[in-house]
Amino acid sequence: MAMIADDHRRPGSTGAVPLFVVFEGIDGCGKTLQAKMLAERLSREGFRVVLTAEPSDGPMGTKIRSLDIRPTAEEEARLFTEDRRDHVNRVIRPALKDGRIVICDRYVYSSAAYQGARGIDPAKIISRNRSFAVPPDVIFLLEVPVETALHRIRAGRSGGFSSFEDKTGLEAVDRIYRDLKDPAIVRIDGTGTVESIHETILRILRGLIRDEADSPECVRVPRGTKREP
Ligand code: TYD
């Protein structure tokens, strides 16, 4: 088990629990429901939890959701990055500083995967975000076959704004997600039942919380020492 550098330690963090939890995956993977279930469960258990999402409900996120015409890939990457900068400053950092567990539905890797699928180098996107994006303690990446995801989207089980609903586009997104290498990523099979996925996520999170609580003197990294934002 390794410590991470002091500059990664967030103000207010006791190091006792992983505070910043991110959900990622292609449209239709079921992450929004899982993020909500986790937040509700932890709240019921007495944890102070903030459930949030990107694109955010701030000015830039609202702008993104209301666009009629899709911007160029570069412009889209810029808008999501600006939204994230605002979201980190306005919601994520203050909540972490306040000692809350933050559960965020989509984060840096959504930009890497979705804008990457439109031709921007994912590594470049990640490095642009690194300067300001607080690194998550754990990233639950829900994996489902593209066909399954599309089926769910079309059946209306995954409503809302979506960048890609065509197979080729979503396959490109999926490839980038599958190629990501980050010790904070925990890949979850998203084809199981909602309840069994929830229990798996909860079990992993409890393990991490227990790990951290064993060593209150340091902030621990779930797997290895190097973390992408
Ligand atoms: P999604 O989580 O599906 O939102 P909803 O709650 O409306 O279902 O995300 C909306 C879309 O935004 C999704 O298709 C992915 C896209 N997106 C990007 O393209 N880049 C980003 O950086 C983020 C955060 C999201």
| pLDDT tens-digit map of 90-109 | 999 999 999 999 999 999 99
pLDDT score, position 227: 42
Candidate of 66, 114, 146 to mutate for ligand 1, largest count of ligand atoms within 8 Å of Cβ: 114
57 CA distance to ligand 1 centroid (A)?
Answer: 12
| pLDDT tens-digit map of 10-40 | 444 444 565 999 999 999 999 999 999 999 9
107 CA distance to ligand 1 centroid (A)?
Answer: 9
Find, among 218, 227, 116, 109, the residue nearest to 164 by Cα: 116
Ligand 1 pocket residue status of 143, Cβ below 6 Å: no
136 CA distance to ligand 1 centroid (A)?
Answer: 18
Ligand 1 pocket residue status of 148, Cβ below 6 Å: no
Ligand 1 pocket residue status of 24, Cβ below 6 Å: no
Ligand 1 pocket residue status of 52, Cβ below 6 Å: no
Ligand 1 pocket residue status of 109, Cβ below 6 Å: no
| pLDDT tens-digit map of 124-138 | 999 999 999 999 999
DSSP state of 165: -
- pLDDT of residue 211 exceeding 90, the answer is no
pLDDT score, position 153: 87
State how far the Cα of 9 lies from the Cα of 135, in Å rounded to an integer.
10
The protein residue with its alpha carbon nearest to ligand 1, atom 19, reads: 114
- pLDDT of residue 44 exceeding 50, the answer is yes
* Cβ pair 184, 208 in contact under 8 A: no
129 CA distance to ligand 1 centroid (A)?
Answer: 16
Residue 106 CA: nearest ligand 1 atom is 24
* Cβ pair 141, 24 in contact under 8 A: yes
Which has more confidence, 166 or 41?
41
How many other β-carbons are positioned within 10 Å of the β-carbon of residue 130?
A: 12
Ligand 1 pocket residue status of 140, Cβ below 6 Å: no
Candidate of 161, 176, 180 to mutate for ligand 1, largest count of ligand atoms within 8 Å of Cβ: 161
pLDDT score, position 222: 39
Note the helical H segments in 88-157: 93-97, 108-117, 122-130, 146-154
pLDDT score, position 104: 98
Q: What superfamily would CATH give domain 6-214?
A: P-loop containing nucleotide triphosphate hydrolases (3.40.50.300)
Domain boundaries, the chain: 6-214
- Host H or E run for residue 143: strand 138-143
25 CA distance to ligand 1 centroid (A)?
Answer: 10
